[in-house]
Structure 1
Amino acid sequence: MATRNRMPPWHEIFKAPSGHELLIRPIRPEDGAPLKAAFSLFGPEEIRDRLLQSVTELSDESMQRLTHPNPKGEITLVAAENETPGDAVVGALARASIVPGTREAEYAILISRFLIGQGLGRQLMRKLVKWARGKYLDRLYGDVLEANVPMKQLAASLGFKQVPHPNEGSGLVRMVLELDPGQ
């Protein structure tokens, strides 16, 4: 019987049209230092657009939370070089977290300006949707700046609907995907 070359769960090789080959995988504690170092690859507009805040570096507390997700209620994926965690440059981050006391999760995706427009955001979003469905959640949502047209278009192409943000006048819209656990 032939040995199958299978990757661990949530691992996938992503080949971008630009020729970049990245490994999409769950974040590891060892990714903290490379992620912190690669944070400069994310422009200030990208950070503000995806994380809804202006920061120039990740705090140690934020890094600890990102690199140690609670598997019962959150997932954090990275797209990194296919190297040993801790040595691999991280080019993208996708996170979903169940809102306590609900059957919904909130997502955020951050992609380096060098990888935008390569289809990586779509692939990461698909994985977050798959995770949310696997948790039998009712919905997955993300808050997006009104001006972030690419993210709104990406989410809409995957079935997300744009709804008014609960904080009226915040400059944000909420992109919501109603999940059917039977899908």
Structure 2
Amino acid sequence: MRPERTDVLRLADGRELWLRPVQPADAGPIAGGFELLGEEEVRSRYLHPVKALSEDYLRQLVAPTPGEGFAVCAAEPLPPGEALVGALARLTRDPGRDSAEFAILVSHFVSGQGLGQLLMLRLFEWARAHGIHRIWGDVLDGNTAMIALAQSLGFERHASPDDPGLVRVTLELAAPPKRRR
């Protein structure tokens, strides 16, 4: 499968979303949607309070360096730039390594619908296709939803030696099965 594909999702509540790669045109809707997030949602994702997303950060998020990063979103079934983005996940390769850091945010508008797992599975596909064997992320110790999601996907939980309020979750990706000819 191509991680860069678009899938149509039907949520349990009947809403339809597109699970697709983030596009540069999504910068405006992502910035606008950020303003609708609660303080705890932002703190859970960024590990500290953030008032707004910088233009630099948005640019990096919506136009990752090919082969070095990937971002996927769950958005309204509208063209990029017009669609409200309800959930977002990104993967950034560690320089010169076969590992990458993930980050994910599912807004309260679409939480509890299984989007976190779908976004992470798409990140796994991209990682495997680009030679990444280890995925990791830092999570607030109190972010039980993210820790539970990570553990359900096979991540291991490690205490952070530098910050007792953080947990590092890591996953060793198995190589995809080889196809028989």
Runs of 4+ in 1 over 6 A off after TM superposition: none
How far off is 1:96 after superposition? 0.4
Q: Distance in 1 between the 2:135 and 2:11 partners?
A: 26
Amino acid at match of 2:73: V
Q: Distance in 2 between the 1:90 and 1:115 partners?
A: 10
Q: Deviations over 1:17-76 (max 9, x none)?
A: 122211111111111111111112221111111122311211111111111111211001
In the comparison of the two structures, how many residue pairs are matched?
176
Unaligned 5+ runs, structure 2: none
Written as runs of structure 1 = structure 2, the 5 A alignment for 1:110-149 is 110-149=105-144
Written as runs of structure 1 = structure 2, the 5 A alignment for 1:5-154 is 9-154=4-149
Q: Distance in 1 between the 2:82 and 2:120 partners?
A: 25
Change (3 A) 1:182 1:8: closer
How far off is 1:166 after superposition? 4.5
Structure 2 partner of 1:180: 174
Candidates 159, 166, 169, aligned match of 1:164: 159
Do the aligned residues in 2 keep the contact of 1:78 with 1:93 (CA within 8 Å)? Answer: yes
Q: Distance in 2 between the 1:62 and 1:113 partners?
A: 22
State the TM-score, normalizing by the size of structure 2: 0.91
Q: Distance in 2 between the 1:12 and 1:41 partners?
A: 25
Structure 2 partner of 1:3: none
More divergent stretch after superposition (130-139 vs 172-181):
130-139
Q: Distance in 1 between the 2:99 and 2:3 partners?
A: 26
Q: Distance in 2 between the 1:158 and 1:134 partners?
A: 18
More divergent stretch after superposition (102-111 vs 11-20):
11-20
SS at match of 1:41: coil
Unaligned 5+ runs, structure 1: 1-6
SS at match of 2:57: helix
Q: Distance in 2 between the 1:57 and 1:69 partners?
A: 20
